[in-house]
Structure 1
Amino acid sequence: MSDPQNEGPVDAKARRGRNIALALGLVLFVVLVFIVTVVRMGANTPHG
């Protein structure tokens, strides 16, 4: 791994891009799990 104190601007930008991509992936995963949970709970309700 690179040392954040001794990296150039290109390395810092690449690391920031990876961090943003990882954060977006994690948020999308949480949203997907939430949607699946709501749909499954809604399917268990009696209809009428």
Structure 2
Amino acid sequence: MSLRKEHELHGRRYSRNLGVGLALAALVAIFFGMTMVKVTRGDYQMQPSEVQNGN
């Protein structure tokens, strides 16, 4: 049991920090998902270069 009541500023700050943290986690999840799709499809591999004759 707390001896002093928490100030309302702390509640608003906690809510804002929670929102920013959730937004950051969503952004990381989107980037991770995009990376996994790109890697599993093989888009990251370079195409074999064509052989050039005598340039």
TM-score with structure 2 setting the length = 0.64
Identity of aligned residues (%): 10
C-alpha separation between the residues in 1 aligned to 2:15 and 2:32? 26
Give the alignment's Cα RMSD to 1 decimal.
1.9
Structure 1 stretches lacking a partner, 5+ long: 1-8
Specify which structure has the higher proportion of helix: 1
TM-score with structure 1 setting the length = 0.72
C-alpha separation between the residues in 2 aligned to 1:28 and 1:20? 12
- Between the two proteins, the alignment pairs up a number of residues equal to 39
Q: Whose RCO is larger (CA < 8 A, sep 6+)?
A: 1
Structure 2 stretches lacking a partner, 5+ long: 1-5, 46-55
